[in-house]
């Protein structure tokens, strides 16, 4: 099965030339060169998934660092925004994913192994058909110039048990030549998201958003999974991919990887709109 793009023309440009120019420009602005150098071992990270003008500058920070030693297999973990699919955890085990830059093959052997080591996961292309959170990672990887394959996994349920199940299935299935990327934005603040727990001046709102988003990033690099879930529950925090992030944190702890926050920004820095704010962060574990 060749999964067609669901995000081209909305989250990123729909033509190959425009998309390549935008991604290359983001890498250049951040000071990262290409192509990627081959790497091995286990690498983990957290990357945002909004429209490229908003989250692209944070995404290239992760992919620029990944390019210094890039494995040939990439496992993508993301939330299921659409609610499509029939299982708590959904994987695709065969076929390819298409973007305007070309097709990316699924690593069928690795995907099948992960599926076999999970209890509540299903091979379910329907869950991925309209989901953007994993697809938007692909053009950055494609422009790094290294051949790679993917394993896409969407979490419709993001509780701790699901994060544990995903991390255990991955670590049981592989330990070398793989990057595991959690796709997640940070807070979604404003009436559109039904989440405005604080009021005040624009400065006070931005301070609240940035302070809490940075606290989340600190918990991620410290691999404080319990702390992250307590934080999400206490503040009802609207972080869309905390389950994928928890799975990556568990993997990083298991393999003894050290985390670094590569950067943080939010949509206010681009739009100036304090009534509609989404946070974007980038984390690398090596």
Q: What is the mean pLDDT of residues 117-140?
A: 97
The pLDDT assigned to 94 comes to: 97
Note the pLDDT of residue 86: 87
| pLDDT tens per residue across span 26-50 | 999 999 988 999 999 999 999 999 9
Residue 111 has a pLDDT of 98
The residue ranges of every structural domain in the chain are 2-285
Give the residue-averaged pLDDT of 233-261.
98
What pLDDT score was predicted for residue 33?
83
- pLDDT of 257 > 90? The answer is yes
Chain centre to alpha carbon of residue 20: 20
Q: Taking residues 56-68, report their average pLDDT.
A: 97
Please report the pLDDT score of residue 171 as a whole number.
Answer: 97
Average pLDDT over the chain reads 97
**pLDDT given at position 52:** 98
Q: Binning pLDDT at 50, 70 and 90, where does residue 219 land?
A: very high
pLDDT higher than threshold 90 for residue 268:
yes
Q: How far apart are CA 214 and CA 206, in angstroms?
A: 12
What is the second-level CATH architecture of the domain 2-285? Answer: 3-Layer(aba) Sandwich (3.40)
Q: What is the pLDDT of residue 28?
A: 96
Flag whether pLDDT at 256 surpasses 90. yes
What is the band of 1 on the pLDDT scale with cuts at 50, 70, 90?
Answer: confident
Q: How far apart are CA 218 and CA 177, in angstroms?
A: 27
- pLDDT confidence of residue 34: 80
> Taking 90 as the threshold, does the pLDDT of residue 186 lie above it?
yes
Task: Please give the pLDDT value at position 119.
Answer: 96
Comparing 231 with 175, which gets the higher pLDDT? 231
- In this predicted structure, what is the pLDDT of residue 141? 98
């Amino acid at each position: 099965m060749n999964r067609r793009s669901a995000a081209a023309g909305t989250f990123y440009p729909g033509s190959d030339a425009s998309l390549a120019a935008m991604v290359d420009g983001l890498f250049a602005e951040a000071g990262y060169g290409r192509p990627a150098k081959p790497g091995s071992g286990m690498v983990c990270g957290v990357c945002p998934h909004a429209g490229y003008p908003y989250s692209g500058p944070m995404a290239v920070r992760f992919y620029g660092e990944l390019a210094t030693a890039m494995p040939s297999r990439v496992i993508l973990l993301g939330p299921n925004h659409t609610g499509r699919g029939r299982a708590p955890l959904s994987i695709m085990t065969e076929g390819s994913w298409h973007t305007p830059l070309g097709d990316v093959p699924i690593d069928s052997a690795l995907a099948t192994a992960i599926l076999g080591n999970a209890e509540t996961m299903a091979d379910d292309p329907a869950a991925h058909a309209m989901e953007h959170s994993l697809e938007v990672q692909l053009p950055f990887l494609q422009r790094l110039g290294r051949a790679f394959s993917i394993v896409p996994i969407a979490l419709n349920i993001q509780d701790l048990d699901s994060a544990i199940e995903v991390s255990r299935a991955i670590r049981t299935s592989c330990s070398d030549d793989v990057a595991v990327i959690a796709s997640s934005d940070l807070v979604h603040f404003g009436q559109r998201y039904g989440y405005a727990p604080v009021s005040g001046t624009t400065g006070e709102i931005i301070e609240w958003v940035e302070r809490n988003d940075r606290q989340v990033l600190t918990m991620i690099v410290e691999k404080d999974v319990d702390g992250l879930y307590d934080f999400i529950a206490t503040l009802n925090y609207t972080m869309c991919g905390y389950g994928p992030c928890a799975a990556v944190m568990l993997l990083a702890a298991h393999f003894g990887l050290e985390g670094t926050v590569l950067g943080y920004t939010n949509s206010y820095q681009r739009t100036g709109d304090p009534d509609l704010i989404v946070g974007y962060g980038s984390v690398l574990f090596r």
